Amino acid sequence: DGGITQSPKYLFRKEGQNVTLSCEQNLNHDAMYWYRQDPGQGLRLIYYSQIVNDFQKGDIAEGYSVSREKKESFPLTVTSAQKNPTAFYLCASAPGQGLRGELFFGEGSRLTVL
């Protein structure tokens, strides 16, 4: 089935450790996005990518990094510089011209930093 796969679903890490969240899509979508969802804060944009080998910072990019080496993959690294990394992370993708902006979401990854 076509869709977006995020892994792991749950992740626990110690403070000071970097962690990488995986996001893979087989929808052949051009654009991919990472959001962070916190209670009462809605979804806040971390990074997004419209095309392979290119990505832009969102509103809360500090302490995060991404890569887009393949169309179907957009991993997010939460670095030790991120001051409050415990959160629910959502990956999304969107198709190309004419349907842009209609996001398809993964199930999310819940990161807890101990």
Partner 1 sequence: AQSVSQHNHHVILSEAASLELGCNYSYGGTVNLFWYVQYPGQHLQLLLKYFSGDPLVKGIKGFEAEFIKSKFSFNLRKPSVQWSDTAEYFCAVMRDDKIIFGKGTRLHILP
Task: Give the span between the Cα atoms of 46 and 35, in whole angstroms.
Answer: 5
* Site for partner 1 contains 105 (CB under 8 A): yes
CB closer to partner 1, 50 vs 67: 50
User: Which residues in the 29-68 window bind partner 1 by CB under 8 A?
Assistant: 31, 33, 35, 40-45, 48, 50, 56, 58-59
CB closer to partner 1, 30 vs 72: 30
User: Which residues in the 1-30 window bind partner 1 by CB under 8 A?
Assistant: none
Here the tokens at position 49 are 């990518």
> What is the total residue count of the chain?
114
Here the tokens at position 105 are 């979401």
Q: Is 108 helix (H, G, I), strand (E, B) or coil?
A: coil
- Write 53-57 long-range contacts (CB < 8 A, 24+): none
Residue ranges binding partner 1 (CB under 8 A): 31, 33, 35, 40-45, 48, 50, 56, 58-59, 90, 92, 94, 100-103, 105-107
